[in-house]
Amino acid sequence: MPIPPQFRALQATRLKHTHPGQGHAVEPALLTAAELPPGDVTIRVTHSSLNYKDGLALQGRPGILKTFPIVPGIDLAGEVIEGSGEGFGPGDQVVVTGWGIGESISGGYAEYARVQSGWVEPLPHGTDAAWAMAVGTAGFTAMLAVLALERHTLYGSALDGPVLVTGATGGVGSVAVSLLATAGHEVHASTGKQQEADYLRSLGASEVLTREEVSRLNRPLESERWAAAIDTVGGSTLSGVMSALRRQGAVSVCGLAGSAELTATVFPLILRGVSLLGIDSVACPRPLRREAWQRLARDLPAERLAPITRTYGLDDLPQLSRRILDGELRGRSVIEVAQP
């Protein structure tokens, strides 16, 4: 299937006169094959997704996009139309997340993309591109966070107590709650949106806490409460989580929706053996990446993702990006890129 002479995209270009907090503009564009970046796999993109980082890029916030012009979108899935490496060939159904796509190289908000074969993963058996983007970077990150906690408990400190998820109504948080509940853990969910308590319970949370209940845990050591945690918020929330973890507990740290700052003491680390587990979903090693996608296919089938997923088109992204930054979206937003 040849690439058409022109195809739809959203493209970011640098502003000549920058506005406060805004260094570029994102607008609809018609691109050609010659404008695709170098790579040995060309993909017809059928679906992408919206993550918090995408929201920042689409709203012109500096620091996310590293080069211009560029197509944003840190996730993409679709069909290979040309492939010369890693065994990928025309017709293969694939997913790409991380590796700088949508940041330093054009990503998923275009009908065609060209990437390095080492970045491409085959879709797990029985899944499709819509499922992969309902998972997306957010769900992939949540799975890496769960796997990190499971590896931490390998030597007997099993997750035998409640596991806290902060920022639980977001993309990462929602998937983390669902994955942990599916694995049989008692899940506590922290959120700033108490109106979403029923939603979180429907995902498997047994207890819903307010954001303030966690962030006001401000003593160096609080009463031991959670066996482990997945934190998407950072700042005072992460500090509070650390102080209330049980002995040999761990927290997977994978977000900064609240703050990139961390003001805490080392007491939880040296007096209770608490561990901070950093989660990198961008340059995750390929064997771990493959393990995560296979586990997601097993534990998070399409029917389980359906309640936390909404589907939109490319034209919806400008207003969706404002809403995700304002905390108005919950769960996952799938973007249908290919026109019917």
- Tell me, what's the pLDDT at 154? 54
Q: Examine the pLDDT at 156 and tell me if it is beyond 60.
A: no
pLDDT of residue 294: 97
pTM given for the model? 0.92
Beta bridge partners of 77: 47, 95
pLDDT score of 254: 95
- Asked if 304 and 21 touch (Cβ cutoff 8 Å), the reply is no
Q: Are 45 and 7 in contact (CB under 8 A)?
A: no
What tens digit of pLDDT does each residue of 48-87 get?
999 999 999 999 998 899 999 999 999 999 999 998 766 7
Q: What is the pLDDT of residue 19?
A: 59
- Which has more confidence, 88 or 336? 336
For 172-212, the DSSP string reads: HHHHHHHHHHHTT--EEEEES-GGGHHHHHHHTEEEEEEHH
Vertex 208: Cα angle to 204 and 210 (nearest 5): 150
CA atoms within 13 A of residue 290's CA, in its CB half-sphere: 7
The least confident of 5-9, 162-166, 211-215, 227-231 is 211-215
Q: Which of 186-190, 214-218, 243-247 has the lowest mean pLDDT?
A: 214-218
Give the angle 92-95-99 at the CA atoms, nearest 5°: 130
Q: Give the pLDDT confidence score for residue 22 in this predicted structure.
A: 64
The answer, yes or no, to whether residue 20 has pLDDT greater than 80, is no
pLDDT at 118: 92
Task: State the average pLDDT over residues 220-234.
Answer: 96
As a whole number of angstroms, the distance between CA 142 and CA 296 comes to 10
**For residue 1, pLDDT beyond 80:** no
Handedness of CA 73, 51, 256, 185 (dihedral sign): negative
As a whole number, the mean pLDDT across the chain is: 93
- Write down the pLDDT at residue 18: 56
Identify the band that residue 340 occupies on the pLDDT scale cut at 50, 70 and 90. low
Strands across the sheet containing 245-253: 205-210, 187-191, 163-165, 226-231, 245-253, 275-278
* Residue closest to 219 by CA, chosen among 242, 236, 243: 243
> Looking at residue 83, what is its pLDDT?
85
